[in-house]
Structure 1
């Protein structure tokens, strides 16, 4: 803990992904909770949306005793619908799940008030904007109710809003309970992601883009507006990497006060003989899957490489990964067979019956199945970007091809119907992972990979890649992480960089690979929350000081 920082007595953190596993923010919050809970001891409260009435949520352990008097007051006197319990993760922090349906009837009044006080433009709202805003407003009401019932102005309280979806909660609290210090964290600017996703060059032209103008052009006015106004009005504005901070400066006209880099906990990484056993089982499953699908046998000398994450074809660099595999297929320096796994959830239909039949049998197969590239049928087999590109590149898993590609188009949650193992139980079997991201504010997938001692290739357009470049003694794949330079226009060089790195890796001896794997693990150890949590404490300090100034100036 840094000397001289003001520390809050209570911390509230709100996100759409509390007890709601959607994406990377879930990983941020669920892994940091243990460290924060150890410091604040049940004076830490996470707030998420309640989608679960009448349904079992395995991530939420409801409690009748926790905050019982306040909860009754909140329900009866403040007419709020809130459930209290603990998040079923290490640290088991207290969670409020908020039902926000009742506020839709007040939507127009809420939006008018936000416009009058904070110039938030909700006129162009569509899609998930209303849902997120009503959740945010309900969240603000819940925190206000808790504060009025339990706390006084001598208590130092911080409220942290994650992503534009909870921005309205921070703004509401600045009006309703100005004593509460507000922090806003954008994990990716909505407009930056949209520019990149619409195949416009983001980085070379960043200085020339006007965020408001681009929001209009891309029909993103309302999301952009709540994000921008929250960034300007809160007591402390934060983001997750230097690369996203550049977006904030240019597109939101506001640099972050603190960069909150995403740490993680390694308590889910197996050790010793458990690790060795899991790795062996994962590899034999990959080889069995490949034999059943492709009709070819793979020995343990085969190099298993993989990419995974959200199905954002360009932003996550899935296109470059496939192009690199195409080039690797013709590379004379490649010394081993390669099995390339593409695990990104598409519009999945059903597990393949023919593949399932083969997987259940004991025999070894010498003929491929029809469509020997994919494990599950898709609803859009003829319009899927991965399958389209494999067809275009003529990557068909022919016997003479040294590189075989398998597309697993579903969440690896242990119940997909074919593989039936969790992602973490599979990544441990890979030799090398590849995440050539174009738009990646942080990049948990390469960080998780090195945590499992699997070396990785990423780019300097990922926050994680930039951070690795800042470490001493990092000079490429030999040190566990290869960070390739990526820009708006060097797609081909990145594909070559991946090809060359995999070829180089295929030439390493067993002892050299052991050293590389150990070094990969050492990179991950430098990204544990015990090191990165200090940035949160700095953000809390800035927020508390600025809230005090706000109060002294009489500005609600």
Structure 2
């Protein structure tokens, strides 16, 4: 029996060493698991952008001892800018980055060949498409050279992520280059556009003319590259059954495999510390809440729950619309039930703004001054109380007010007086450049932080980082400090945000139109017992889904603290299900299948 051939895997994405979206998270978190399996027989390919590369890339010398090394040397001699080194992330994989500028002058020549070979029109496309065409050509040249240098000694596999990495894939197929190919679409181009613009999109998906719609939305070249890559690859894969349906109708091919996304869960693991971390970071959020709301609307923090949603500003696709409408229903339900609880809901997304609202910053600063005054009084009272207690003969508790210096009494009173106001707390923390759909919805539903509202809203139109003066937390710490993540998406090919909640021991709400929610429903019958709630957006109307979400939130609000602690423990205990060490097997199958299909 002949010995099995050695294998070598190239993984190719626009987002390798280039943080622009969710695929960066997929690639980056998967690397340790891939290196564990492939070792030195694995390399990533991506574009070279000096700003990101300077932080994440370490160059190493190229030798002619391997087919890849010889190919890089050969292409450098032909004038192509190619960097070779380590990607400085967990796993420290080998990575090849291409200087697109070195081939950009020939972009029209490449476009002409693409038209002649595949009839893909690229006239008048935006600069980004030109860059991806050059990127695809440089990958094609490298892989062709590697295959020739390899001389069939090793089975080569190239795994392409998204159309932006795959513009050269059709020519690899046409030229019969001896390399097995896998193409993964994480979200089809047309799916992204149509889901946000067409009501009940998934119910009518089979009625669309993909080419006509691509022209209508001005993405003809992108959609054509995506379709060509999907049809020419040896194996087509996607991340969920939801996107598989888009592949069938828009790309003209049913995917052979679904590759669910995971995380490097070990990075998030806090062992038995997650409850302590929750308490610690919740306190930081409470400090913000006091500064923001207690000027005019103090409430019991021990009876307050912090909910949040986050992601790109895609008002309908991300489910911000239905979340806001469900919160209005929840507010009514809590009032009718006479609930003693308060819900503070955070919307964390990215929108154009001028600056943080100075009034919001000022309120936080004055609260800090009140705290400092209280600490000074506390210290003064403590000293006097000790002396009075030691010298007392009647064992009575002394009058603490007598120990407070008149200066500190006056200073505290004045500081609190300047802080207190009758104005409603702001719903948005920043000065937006223009009113958007979230603000319009809040006005329509009158969810404006009124004194009698049980649901308060904080709209933070910027991503949370540790240098943020309002929270003093990074995003991961903020998530741990919250009680529930809310992500009832209408179009979400996968959806990392609920998975990131689970990894941090935070219960989450998702939808059956997100890849993650759909996958949870397939692998676990009792997913609700494990802190994951799924809103039915496939078969219910918008209003029915909003009512369902409101009921899920109301049920969560009614839980006891003990119930919530138990739920957090359960959530964290199943997070390992989504560790790449378990999910990499899907990728392994795709690579093996590509090799088998290439042989046929």
**What is the TM-score normalised by the length of structure 1?**
0.91
Q: Secondary structure, in 3 states, of the residue corresponding to 1:168?
A: coil
Shift of 1:146: 4.4
Contact persistence 1:124–1:221 (CA under 8 A): no
Distance 2:472 2:54 in 1: 19
Determine which of 348, 355, 362 is the counterpart of 1:350: 355
Aligned runs of 1:479-498 on 2, under 5 Å?
A: 479-487=530-538, 490-498=541-549
Distance 2:332 2:356 in 1: 32
Distance 1:328 1:111 in 2: 55
**TM-superposition CA deviations, 1:11-35 (whole Å, max 9, x none):** 1111111111122111111111000
Q: 1:442 maps to what in 2?
A: 494
Q: Secondary structure, in 3 states, of the residue corresponding to 2:253?
A: coil
Q: 1:77 maps to what in 2?
A: 77
Q: 2:317 maps to what in 1?
A: 315
**TM-superposition CA deviations, 1:172-215 (whole Å, max 9, x none):** 43345611111111001101111112234311101222222222
Q: 1:286 maps to what in 2?
A: 285
Contact persistence 1:292–1:368 (CA under 8 A): no
Shift of 1:389: 1.7
Q: Secondary structure, in 3 states, of the residue corresponding to 2:277?
A: helix
Shift of 1:337: 0.6
Structure 1 217/263 Cα, relative in aligned 2: closer, same or farther at 3 Å? same
Shift of 1:74: 4.4
**TM-superposition CA deviations, 1:115-160 (whole Å, max 9, x none):** 33333332463363222222222232233344555x3322111111
Contact persistence 1:59–1:87 (CA under 8 A): no
Shift of 1:469: 0.9
Contact persistence 2:43–2:93 (CA under 8 A): yes
Distance 1:204 1:7 in 2: 46
Distance 1:274 1:67 in 2: 47
Contact persistence 2:71–2:145 (CA under 8 A): no
Shift of 1:88: 2.3
Q: 1:49 maps to what in 2?
A: 47
Contact persistence 1:468–1:474 (CA under 8 A): no
**TM-superposition CA deviations, 1:475-516 (whole Å, max 9, x none):** 53x431111110387221122112111111122122222222
Structure 1 464/76 Cα, relative in aligned 2: closer, same or farther at 3 Å? closer
Distance 1:67 1:362 in 2: 62
Shift of 1:78: 2.9
Q: 2:21 maps to what in 1?
A: 23
Q: 2:520 maps to what in 1?
A: 468
Answer with 435-444 or 508-517: which moved more: 508-517
Distance 1:252 1:329 in 2: 44
Contact persistence 2:5–2:154 (CA under 8 A): no
Structure 1 152/171 Cα, relative in aligned 2: closer, same or farther at 3 Å? same
Contact persistence 2:284–2:472 (CA under 8 A): no
**TM-superposition CA deviations, 1:290-335 (whole Å, max 9, x none):** 2222234451331111101111101000111111111111113455
Answer with 309-318 or 409-418: which moved more: 409-418
Distance 2:114 2:17 in 1: 28
Answer with 488-497 or 71-80: which moved more: 71-80
Answer with 497-506 or 278-287: which moved more: 278-287
Distance 2:273 2:422 in 1: 34
**TM-superposition CA deviations, 1:67-110 (whole Å, max 9, x none):** 58648724642321122222222111112221112333222221
Distance 2:146 2:316 in 1: 44
Distance 1:139 1:45 in 2: 13
Answer with 504-513 or 314-323: which moved more: 504-513
| 1:14 corresponds to 2:16 | no
Segments of structure 1 that go 5 or more residues without pairing to the other structure are: 1-5, 550-556
Distance 2:163 2:30 in 1: 20
Shift of 1:372: 0.8
Shift of 1:162: 0.7
Aligned runs of 1:399-414 on 2, under 5 Å?
A: 399-414=451-466
Segments of structure 2 that go 5 or more residues without pairing to the other structure are: 372-418
Q: 2:582 maps to what in 1?
A: 531
**What is the TM-score normalised by the length of structure 2?**
0.84
Distance 1:526 1:487 in 2: 25
Structure 1 183/59 Cα, relative in aligned 2: closer, same or farther at 3 Å? farther
Distance 1:369 1:362 in 2: 20
Distance 1:420 1:57 in 2: 28
Q: Secondary structure, in 3 states, of the residue corresponding to 2:537?
A: coil
Q: 1:246 maps to what in 2?
A: 245
Structure 1 275/83 Cα, relative in aligned 2: closer, same or farther at 3 Å? same
Higher normalized helix content (fraction of residues): 2
Determine which of 432, 435, 443 is the counterpart of 1:378: 432
Shift of 1:531: 1.9
Q: 1:115 maps to what in 2?
A: 115
Distance 2:44 2:595 in 1: 19
| 1:540 corresponds to 2:591 | yes
Q: 1:341 maps to what in 2?
A: 346
Aligned runs of 1:141-152 on 2, under 5 Å?
A: 141-148=141-148, 151-152=150-151
| 1:389 corresponds to 2:396 | no
Aligned Cα root-mean-square deviation (Å): 2.4
Q: 2:177 maps to what in 1?
A: 178
Contact persistence 2:62–2:73 (CA under 8 A): no
Distance 1:72 1:17 in 2: 21
Distance 1:479 1:60 in 2: 36
Shift of 1:471: 2.4
Contact persistence 1:480–1:523 (CA under 8 A): no
Q: 1:553 maps to what in 2?
A: none
Structure 1 479/157 Cα, relative in aligned 2: closer, same or farther at 3 Å? same
Distance 1:499 1:7 in 2: 57
Shift of 1:56: 6.2
Larger radius of gyration: 2
Shift of 1:455: 0.9
Distance 1:58 1:449 in 2: 30
Q: Secondary structure, in 3 states, of the residue corresponding to 1:526?
A: helix
| 1:62 corresponds to 2:58 | yes
Determine which of 458, 466, 482 is the counterpart of 2:510: 458
Answer with 317-326 or 480-489: which moved more: 480-489
Q: Secondary structure, in 3 states, of the residue corresponding to 1:437?
A: coil
